[in-house]
Amino acid sequence: MIGILAVWVETFLAGLLAGPGALVSRPAALATIPRPDHTVVVIMENHSYSSVIGNGSAPYINSLRTEGASFTNSHGVGHPSEPNYLALFEGATENLTDDSCPHTYSAANLGSELLASGQSFVGYSESMPSDGYTGCTSGRYARKHNPWVNYRNVPASSNRTFDAFPSDFDALPTVSYVAPNLCNDMHDCSVATGDTWLKNFLPRILQSAAFKRSVVYVAWDEGTTNTGGGGRVPLLVISPDAAPGLQSSRAANHYNLLRTIEDAWGLPALGKAAGAAPLTQYWK
Residue 68 has pLDDT above 80, yes or no: yes
Q: Model's pTM, two decimal places?
A: 0.88
Residue 26 has pLDDT above 80, yes or no: no
Which pLDDT value is given to residue 218?
A: 98
Which pLDDT value is given to residue 227?
A: 57
Which pLDDT value is given to residue 31?
A: 54
Q: Residue 221: which pLDDT band, with cuts at 50, 70 and 90?
A: very high
Which pLDDT value is given to residue 149?
A: 98
Q: Residue 46: which pLDDT band, with cuts at 50, 70 and 90?
A: confident
Per-residue HEC secondary structure of the chain comes to: CHHHHHHHHHHHHHHHHHCCCHHHHCCCCCCCCCCCCEEEEEEECCCCHHHHCCCCCCHHHHHHHHHCEEEEEEECCCCCHHHHHHHHHHCCCCCCCCCCCCCCECCCCHHHHHHHCCCCEEEEECCCCCCCCCCCEECCEEHHHCHHHHECCCCHHHEEEHHHCCCCHHHCCCEEEEECCCCCCCCCCCHHHHHHHHHHHHHHHHCCHHHHHEEEEEEECCCCCCCCCCCEEEEEEECCCECCCCEECCCEEHHHHHHHHHHHCCCCCCHHHHHCCCCCCCEC
pLDDT above 70 covers a percentage of the chain that reads 88
* 249-254 average pLDDT score: 95
* 168-192 average pLDDT score: 97
Which pLDDT value is given to residue 224?
A: 77
Q: Residue 55: which pLDDT band, with cuts at 50, 70 and 90?
A: very high
More confident residue, 22 or 51: 51
Which pLDDT value is given to residue 246?
A: 95
Which pLDDT value is given to residue 230?
A: 85
Which pLDDT value is given to residue 118?
A: 97
Q: Residue 3: which pLDDT band, with cuts at 50, 70 and 90?
A: very low
- Average pLDDT over all residues of the chain: 89
Residue 13 has pLDDT above 70, yes or no: no
Which pLDDT value is given to residue 228?
A: 55
Domains of the chain with CATH codes: 1-30 (no CATH), 37-275 (3.40.720.10)
* 183-203 average pLDDT score: 98
Residue 18 has pLDDT above 70, yes or no: no
Q: Residue 28: which pLDDT band, with cuts at 50, 70 and 90?
A: very low
